[in-house]
Amino acid sequence: MRFLPGFFNVTIPAAPVSQIAVLCLDGDLYSSTMQVLRPLYPRVVGCGYVIVDDYGFLKMCKRAIHEFFQATPPTMIIRVVDDTDVWFPRPDRPRECSTV
């Protein structure tokens, strides 16, 4: 696990990470959610997972998730954790796990 201090739009695009097993998003806003998804989601391995905090609480966070994945077949299966959090496996990669 690595913690990278700084603002999402500055720190995340240059993050020194090539593969991600679990991508946990807690950006709250539309822009910050997208600032993390765009550069990091492509690095999530085939058996990886995405966890989204505030999906069920903040409409703009939910909107960002759905807009980002709108063109990603097959349809992602969102699993609810509680009133705010959700998780889902990477929907556009084979079920076989990559080495992380």
Beta strands in the chain (DSSP E): 20-25, 44-52, 79-80, 86-89
H helices of the chain, in order, are 8-11, 30-40, 59-69
pLDDT digits (tens, 9 = 90+) for 57-97: 889 999 998 888 886 655 677 888 898 888 888 866 555 55
Q: Which domains does the chain have, with CATH numbers?
A: 8-89 (3.40.50.150)
pTM here is 0.80
CA-based end-to-end distance of the chain: 12
Give residue-wise pLDDT tens across range 15-47.
Answer: 998 999 999 999 889 999 999 999 999 999 888
Angstrom distance (rounded) from CA 99 to CA 78: 24
Asked if 50 and 44 count as a contact pair (C-beta separation under 8 A), the reply is yes
